[in-house]
Amino acid sequence: MHPMLRHPLRFGREHRFTFEHASQYLDDDLDEAGRERVEHHARLCPKCHELLAALHRTISALRELGTGPGEPGDSDVADGVIARLRAGR
């Protein structure tokens, strides 16, 4: 039987945990136990798998632009990106 059906309550709890901690997971800000919870759940849950993949793409794109979540000067760089996008470049 699929684990989601066998443990519906636990699945819901892990699903919320993964959603709430997805960005910390990708920033490597979670402890070992937290990472294992996210990785384990993402293997069972297509939605969380896709969420992590989408966030990973976004963060990689931001890093290529020379910024990332939590870095100093973040908002200045983000403003610059928005200005460039508005200018069509």
The residues that touch Zn ion, with contacts defined as CB under 5 A, are 15, 45, 47-48
- Beta carbon nearer to Zn ion, 48 or 67: 48
- Beta carbon nearer to Zn ion, 7 or 15: 15
Which run of H or of E encompasses 75?
helix 74-87
Helix spans in 27-73 (H): 32-44, 46-64
Q: How far is the CB of 14 from Zn ion (least distance, A)?
A: 7
What one-character DSSP code corresponds to residue 45?
A: -
Q: How far is the CB of 49 from Zn ion (least distance, A)?
A: 8
In three state form, how does the secondary structure of 61-73 look?
Answer: HHHHCCCCCCCCC
Q: How far is the CB of 52 from Zn ion (least distance, A)?
A: 10
- Beta carbon nearer to Zn ion, 20 or 29: 20
